[in-house]
Every structure is written in structure tokens, then in C-alpha cells.
Amino acid sequence: MTNSDIRAWYQTRIAEISKLNQEGIAQGSSLEQRARRAWQIRYDARIEARSMMENAAEIEDLRERDLRLYGNPDGPTFDQLVQENLQRGFRTEEVYERIISGAQTTNREVNKLFGAKGPSS
């Protein structure tokens, strides 16, 4: 698989979050539960996509980027996202909605780097 193929797989996985969120609403899942699920899907997809990549230097570049941005080589934790948004003045419900929304977008620069297109932030 090329990096472009992997990025396309990743974007397809991320695109499923909206549908799964709607299913969670229909099933009566709380907003927090749905936010945690969205975050987990995104996190797991990030880890799995990186495990599919063949070039160790490229994987390390992505991990260094995440470390620089989030203080964690595997991206932000759920609790970190909650705290950061609360500190920005968002109410708890808004924080969870922002996490769900954010989990559904991918980074435009990383998409470009790996030759993929899709929902980006």
C-alpha cells in the first residue's frame, strides 16, 4: 500500500464517524459517550494507518508533529481535548460537540503530503 492508499483508507475510516454518531444518537448514547467514541475511532485510525506505513522516517515525522502540537506522539488525548476546550471557555456540551466535529476532519497539509484529498481542517 502506498502512503496515498493508506491516507485514503484513513479518510474513509474518519468519514464513518458521522454515521456512527447518528447511530449513537438513535440508540440514546450520551453526548460524552459519542464524543469518546468519535475520538477513539480517530485515534485508532491514526495508529493503524501509521502501522501500515513502510517508511519509518515518515512515521517518525508524523509522531514528531503530534508531539510538537499536542505533547503526545500519538495525538491529543480525549481528556486533553476536553481540558483545552474548557479552558477556552466552551461549555461541556460544546466541548463534546467540538470533539465529535474535530474527529471528522483531517489535516489538509498531511493530506497534501500523502497525496490524498478529503474532509480537512
Q: Using CA atoms, how far apart are residues 118 and 106, in angstroms rounded to an integer?
A: 8
> What's the pTM value of the predicted model, to 2 decimals?
0.88
User: What values do phi and psi take at 106, rounded to 5?
Assistant: -120, 165
Helix axis angle for 31-52 and 56-70, nearest 10°, is: 150
The whole-number pLDDT of residue 112 equals: 81
Helix ranges (H only) for the chain are 3-26, 31-52, 56-70, 78-87, 92-103, 108-113
pLDDT tens for 58-114 read: 999 999 999 999 999 999 999 999 999 999 999 999 999 999 999 999 878 887 877
The whole-number pLDDT of residue 114 equals: 78
